[in-house]
Each structure stands twice: as structure tokens, then as C-alpha cells.
Structure 1
Amino acid sequence: MNPLDILQSFGGVARTSALLDAGISRRELRRFPSSVRQPKRGVYAAEGCHPGYFKAIMANAVLTCASAAEEYGLWLRMSPAVPHLAANHGHEPSSAVRHRGLRFPAQARLPIASLADTVIHALICLPASQSVPIATSALARGLSAEQIEHELRARRLGPALKAFRLVNTLVESEPEAEAWVILLALARRLGVSVVAQAMIPGLGRVDFLVAGWLIVEIDGVAFHSSRDSVRRDRARDNTASLLGYARLRYVPEVVWREPDRLASEVEAVLTGRLRVPKN
């Protein structure tokens, strides 16, 4: 692999020490083409390099929280407007969300926090509607729930621990994870049960079963993509009604953009009254 390809394998930006460890000689560093610049001593950046990696390395930091979640491919509804950076020093740039307390080794080649630190910072920084899906998908990737709970308890991060305990590893998508947070809060307030991925005899698995008789489904991206899927959904709706279940269906956009509508409509069915969400 030639030196430029090695640099590109780091996302187009890397420290001198990392490039030397990767097998590039100091003579080869001096022969990089003009498209590779040195924005500061000890850093090489190719044209079009990864902007998040560049900002992290320039700040002697690593990506974390929502920024690292995106790199890991965790459940994240949208990219963060500014990078989330973490370091054990106080010199991160003002145009970033700053995090402290890196407790685990970052990735070896790329400026990305460990999966554990990424989740912990998300639980501290983001609302539950965003941090719970991140944590849920991280646990599905093999992250230890006991490890995260231990760290949160040891650091006395009560609000973050409270959010982490909302995680339900049975949910199967980002919008389902957000819907779970909404439905769980509603169910607790009304004193009823809510079960994710409930199995109903004669019907099959449903996304959520509230109070034992209200089915709430979150349709996927490919919802109603064919006549066969429409027929299957209608048949399931009819079967649910014949079995005595009420049913509500929502597309992900309702979960993301109108969470109050979802909560008020579910409550309306459960209680027989509609609470109109405030504008």
C-alpha cells in the first residue's frame, strides 16, 4: 500500500506517529503530494479528508456521543449539527459539544471514543428519545449493560442511569426505541402495562401491546411498498379486531415529529378521551 493510500485508510487525516506506526517512513512523509497538507505540526491531512476526524485530531480529542454513534452505525435519527468531542483536557474548540471523562481506550486507528464512552456520553448529553436508541443498538452490538450501569452508578450520574434503565433490547428499530420511551412513560402514568414485541396467539408478534388489549405498531420504511404487504397488513388488522384487540399504526415520522400526538391518541383509546397536544 502506498503512503497516500495508508493516509486515506485513516480517513485522510492522521498524526505523524500513527503514519510511522503504519509503516510510512519519514522520507515518504516528506514526499506526500501537494494535496496533502500539514495544518499543524505532526498532523497530515489529505484533500477531502473526514471533517469529523480532522476536527478531533486538530483538537487532540476523539469523536464521541452522537458523532461517534454515527461512525459506529448506531441508531441515530439525524447527524449532529456540530461534532461531539471528548478529551481529558480542556482545550476542545468552541464550535463543538464538549465531553469529559474518557474511561476506556479509544479506537486504535481512528479518533473515535470507545463504544462504552460513546453510550455514556450520549446518556449524559442527549434527551432520552435520542440516547435510548443509541444505547439500545449498542447493547445489540455486544456492549455490556452491566458495564454501563456500573460506570453510571460509580460516577453518580443519576439522570443518565435513569435514561439507561429505559432501554429495552427487544425493540427492533430506531423509531420503535423512541416509541418505547413514549409508551413506557404513558403506561407508567396511567398504571397499565406495555410489552414490546409481544406474541399474540392467532396473530403473531406485534411491536407493542398496551394494557393487554391495545396494539401499537410502528411501520417500517418499506410500509405498503406492494399490494401483497397491504393485503397482509389488512388481514392482520382484521384478525386483531376479531380477537378483540384495538390497534393503532404509525409511520416513523409521527414518532419523530409528533410524539405528543402518538401519546395523546394512545391515551385517548385507553381512557376514552382525547387530550389535544399543545401547539
Structure 2
Amino acid sequence: MPEVVDVLLRREGTATFGQLRAVVSGRAIRAALATGSIRRIAKGVYALPAAPDPITAARAQGGLVSHLSAAVLHGFDVLELPDKPQITVPRGQHRRLSPVSCVLHWADDLPSDGTCTSKLQTVLDCARTLPFAAGLTIADSALRGRVLDRSQLMVAAANLSGPGCRRARQVAAAADGRAESPLESVLRAILIEAGILGFEPQVVVRDGTFSSRIDLANPALMIAVEADGFAYHGTRAALARDCRRHVSLTVRGWRLLRFSWEDVMFDPEWVLQAIRDAIAGSPGHHNGSDSRTATLEAAGSGRL
């Protein structure tokens, strides 16, 4: 069932039978329906199950919507939707009986008004409690949407204490609003956690006759790394455009490595090995030493 749910998440929660069958088996779809992992909302149309209302859960518990549930309410990109509403209540407060099941967190100095933790607090909470890639995805999204300033995030993370504070500071240090999608954030997180440095998001390669922007690039090594979602590369026109772009980068000395959603999300070790092989100049990769140098510009030159 995870594959069926993943497809729906990538399509913002809904898909037709044909769209699902292009990726997963009919048996998997029937199994997901039988277990309640997905639901049929119309003939031939499927969706993720409706989640309990987090605001209702927060009011029932006398707290605030927080963590991943708050990230969704704030409109941040997330890698997965919460199974249950995540609620933060004042420290010392006991769980109240409620028909809405939820995950409780406790915190000091919780605001007495509002229904949701602030955008900054939400990013910090997620950075502390989620895996690095998931936390970075949310932080990148907040910076990309300009609802937070990177220096503000860095200062707030530096002042944290307690469980998860080190991870939150790592997320704040790596967060970059230039990342254009969750898949790019996860790909960058894989490199960072492996200690592979020198790759910058959204690097522009430009000369007199050509201009292209790369998801992640190491200009010194002339290695380009792309995170390819099917939605942007699934048509004949997109294929023709991608082929010409690939050739144009190659003749300029770039090694272009393209990874799918499945590669990045389900086989990060293979992704890392491919990038390590490219860096090491393994057989099958040219070193680009005789190639013509293109002018490089980092899109939005400074971090947000």
C-alpha cells in the first residue's frame, strides 16, 4: 500500500484509476481500498482518507495545532501528511477525553490565543522531531515562500535547548529558499547527511547561446544533479526539451545525473554511489578538463 499512497501524495491527494495503474498494480489498488489506506470518492477517482480536523482536536484538548499538522495548515510543503492531528498543550496538562484521536506534545509558555503555532515555531518543531530530510523540506518551503527570514530561523534555532535542538540547528543551517520542490530538498538532504559538500541549489549555466538552470550543481566539478518529478517530464514535448538540454550541458563539459522520485525517496544509497562515482571520475564519466567554460550564476545569488 505505501506505493499507492505515495502516488496520491505526489498528486496532491487524488488520482484517477488510470493514473494509479500507470505506476502501481490493480491488486495494490484493491488492497489499499480494502485496508482503508485510500478511498473512492467518485467512479474511477481515488483519494487519501479524510483526516480528522486538527483544529477540532486542538480545541478539544485545550491546545494548539502544531508540528506537521501546523505545517500543513500554514501551507508548507511536507513529505507526508500526519496520520493524526498533532496538538501541543501546556506542560502538565493531562490528555482530555475526546472522540478525535490525536498526538499530543507539551510545551512551556504556550500562547493562550489562536489555533495554531506560529510559522517559526512550526518550522522549529518539525526540525526537532522529524527526520532531517522532512524537516529540511518544510524549512526550505518556509524560506521559499518568504514567510520566514533565514537569519531569523538561525537565531531561533541557536537559542533552542532540549531534545532535537542539534537537529533543528542542522536544518536551519542547511535551509535554502532557492530549492524549488520537496524532491530537491530531499536530494540535497541526502548529500548533506553523507558529508558531500559543494552542491548549490538552482545554479544557472549561461553563455552566449545557451542558458539553463540546474536543481543542484557543483560548479567546480561541473557536476549537475537533477531531481525529476514525472509531472514535469511526462510529455513528448518535455522529453524533446530535456534531451536537447542534456546534450547542451554535456557538450559544455557538464556531467548531468538525473534521479527520479523513486530513486531519491526509496534508494538513496544508489543515488549517493552514483554521485560519488561522478565525483571520483569513474569509468564512463569524462572529467570536462578540455571543455569550454560557461559563465555560472547562482540564481538569487544570496540565501534568503
TM-score, reference length from structure 1: 0.71
**Alpha carbons of structure 1 residues 219 and 206: separation in structure 2 relative to 1, 3 Å:** same
**Alpha carbons of structure 1 residues 49 and 222: separation in structure 2 relative to 1, 3 Å:** closer
Question: Is 1:134–2:141 an aligned residue pair?
Answer: no
Ranked by relative contact order (alpha carbons within 8 Å, sequence separation 6 or more), the top structure is 2
Q: What corresponds to 1:39 in structure 2? A: none
| Superimposed CA distance per residue, residues 4-40 of structure 1 (whole angstroms, 9 cap, x where no aligned partner) | xxxxxxxxxxxxxxxxxxxxxxxxxxxxxxxxxxxxx
Question: Is 1:246–2:252 an aligned residue pair?
Answer: no
1:198 pairs, out of 181, 198, 203, with: 203
Deviation at 1:52, TM superposition (A): 1.9
Whether the aligned pair in 1 keeps the contact of 2:55 and 2:65 (CA below 8 Å) is yes
**Alpha carbons of structure 1 residues 122 and 102: separation in structure 2 relative to 1, 3 Å:** farther
Whether the aligned pair in 2 keeps the contact of 1:67 and 1:84 (CA below 8 Å) is yes
**Alpha carbons of structure 1 residues 101 and 248: separation in structure 2 relative to 1, 3 Å:** same
Question: Is 1:235–2:244 an aligned residue pair?
Answer: yes
Q: Distance in 2 between matches of 1:208 and 1:247?
A: 10
**Alpha carbons of structure 1 residues 209 and 248: separation in structure 2 relative to 1, 3 Å:** same
1:166 pairs, out of 174, 179, 182, with: 174
Question: Is 1:99–2:105 an aligned residue pair?
Answer: yes
Q: Distance in 2 between matches of 1:93 and 1:181?
A: 38
Q: Distance in 1 between matches of 2:112 and 2:259?
A: 39
Q: What corresponds to 1:64 in structure 2? A: 66
Deviation at 1:269, TM superposition (A): 1.9
Question: Is 1:256–2:273 an aligned residue pair?
Answer: no
Q: Distance in 1 between matches of 2:51 and 2:80?
A: 21
Q: CA RMSD in A?
A: 2.7
2:129 pairs, out of 125, 129, 150, with: 125
Q: What corresponds to 1:81 in structure 2? A: 83
Unaligned ranges ≥5, structure 2: 1-49, 284-304
Unaligned ranges ≥5, structure 1: 1-47, 275-279
Q: Distance in 1 between matches of 2:242 and 2:51?
A: 46
Alignment of 1:105-120 (within 5 A): 105=111, 108=114, 111-120=115-124
Q: Distance in 2 between matches of 1:107 and 1:203?
A: 50
2:156 pairs, out of 151, 159, 163, with: 151
Aligned length: 222
- Matched to 1:228, the amino acid is A
TM-score, reference length from structure 2: 0.65
**Larger-gyration structure (1/2):** 1
Q: What corresponds to 2:291 in structure 1? A: none
Deviation at 1:205, TM superposition (A): 0.9
